[in-house]
């Protein structure tokens, strides 16, 4: 699964430089871009609090290419991402709550969150490593999802902002947290680059062998929050195969071809065109909630994974990653139960998640690429969301 969300409000706080003063100067010169940006960004005051004895804040990064992102260190969450549409109008393509209070109250815990230690599902919350069996809290029916009862989405990360376009978040997960072995030091770097890309670089080190599968659970609507469902978004995924699942959404362990199935997005296809077909896999996920096996030129290669086009905005999002898999979630469990930015609700299929990651339940599936991190080794992955407009 996956999910990401955004806000409306006042100016954003920067820990480096003085971007608020720059925006004011630009606005005085008749440049309306800064004014529009500040109108769409979250109010930093509604993210100020203390949780578990640590300060929660909202940070903003931006660059000259016209993209601005807001991230809170509560859960390492992507709160908003402002991107110019085909008419040059800034659009917040992240769907989610508009305040810390609303994130805490949400029945959906993963809006825009950094996910770990192990993203996606672990069958029955159990795995065996080096002869020892570990039991992780089951929070998704009979299975564990996205790290257990208190995954990284509830952590207050340490934040550092070395420049206006970069935010670094770090967290030391102690040995035994959520019953996972080893002390795990994690760092996530969010960077906006001049090619209109949001880059997420993950790094982790451990002192014991332990499973690690980090990702981000952003919820996207490229037409902007409140614009309706994502059914007419056009999606293309560079994958000839996917991992079919059982009724509890755990992979069987095999890799099936997408050809001749509703899961074939090798050519650009509207998301809603086949989502309601009579198909056992779609019935299990109540739509798309499946891992795609990405076509890679070599294991670990940084390569294109997917392309999404907003049918109304003309915004194009290309995804690149070093990861072997992409979890495509079509917002099937969004039930209008949570308050989002601008007074909206998380209505059915009004956002999608495209999570770059290793395969679900890889810790129990010997045929899948391993997610075991060894002491002395460094876990490193890189994913990027590159924005343009439809020609």
Helix extents (H) in 314-369: none
- Which residues are part of the catalytic machinery? 217, 355
CB count, 10 Å around CB of 349? 21
Specify the length of the chain in residues: 391
Q: Is 242 in contact with 263 (CB distance < 8 Å)?
A: yes
Give the E-state strand segments of 174-246 in sequence order. Answer: 184-193, 197-206, 210-211, 215-217, 234-237, 239-243
How open is the CA angle 268-93-216, to the nearest 5 degrees? 85
Phi, psi (deg, nearest 5) at residue 123:
-60, 125
Give Cβ neighbours of residue 58 (< 8 Å, ≥ 6 apart): 12, 13, 42, 44, 47, 48, 70, 71, 72, 79
3-class secondary structure per residue, 48-97: CEEECCEEECEEEEECCCCCEEEEECECCEEEEEEEECCCCCEEECECCC
């Amino acid at each position: 699964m996956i999910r990401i969300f955004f806000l409306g409000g006042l100016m954003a706080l920067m820990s480096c430089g003085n971007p608020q003063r720059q925006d004011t100067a630009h606005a005085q010169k008749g440049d309306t871009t800064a004014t529009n940006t500040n109108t769409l960004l979250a109010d930093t005051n509604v993210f100020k609090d203390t949780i578990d004895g640590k300060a929660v804040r909202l940070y903003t990064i931006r660059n000259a290419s016209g993209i601005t992102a807001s991230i809170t260190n509560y859960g390492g969450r992507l709160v908003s991402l402002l991107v110019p549409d085909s008419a040059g109008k800034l659009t917040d393509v992240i769907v989610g709550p508009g305040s810390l209070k609303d994130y805490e109250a949400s029945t959906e815990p993963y809006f825009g969150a950094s996910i770990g230690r192990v993203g996606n599902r672990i069958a029955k919350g159990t795995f065996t490593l080096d002869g020892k069996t570990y039991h992780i809290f089951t929070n998704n029916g009979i299975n564990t999802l996205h790290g257990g009862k208190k995954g990284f989405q509830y952590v207050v990360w340490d934040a550092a902002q070395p420049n206006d376009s970069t935010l670094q978040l770090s967290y030391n997960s102690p040995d035994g947290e959520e019953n996972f072995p080893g002390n795990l030091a994690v760092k996530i770097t969010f960077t906006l680059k001049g090619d209109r890309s949001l880059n997420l670089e993950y790094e982790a080190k451990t002192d014991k062998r332990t499973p690690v599968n980090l990702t981000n659970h952003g919820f996207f609507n490229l037409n902007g929050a409140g614009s309706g469902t994502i059914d007419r978004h056009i999606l293309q995924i560079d994958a000839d195969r996917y991992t079919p699942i059982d009724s509890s959404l755990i992979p069987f362990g095999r890799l099936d071809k997408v050809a001749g199935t509703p899961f074939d997005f090798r050519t650009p296809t509207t998301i809603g065109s086949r989502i309601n077909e009579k198909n056992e896999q779609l019935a299990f996920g109540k739509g798309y909630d499946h891992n795609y096996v990405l076509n890679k030129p070599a294991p670990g290669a940084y390569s294109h994974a997917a392309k999404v086009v907003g049918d109304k905005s003309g915004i194009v999002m290309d995804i690149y990653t070093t990861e072997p898999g992409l979890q495509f979630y079509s917002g099937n469990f969004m039930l209008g139960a949570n308050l989002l930015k601008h007074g909206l609700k998380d209505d059915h299929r009004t956002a999608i998640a495209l999570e770059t990651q290793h395969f679900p339940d890889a810790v129990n599936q010997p045929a899948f690429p391993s997610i075991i991190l060894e002491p002395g080794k460094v876990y490193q992955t890189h994913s990027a969301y590159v924005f343009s407009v439809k020609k």
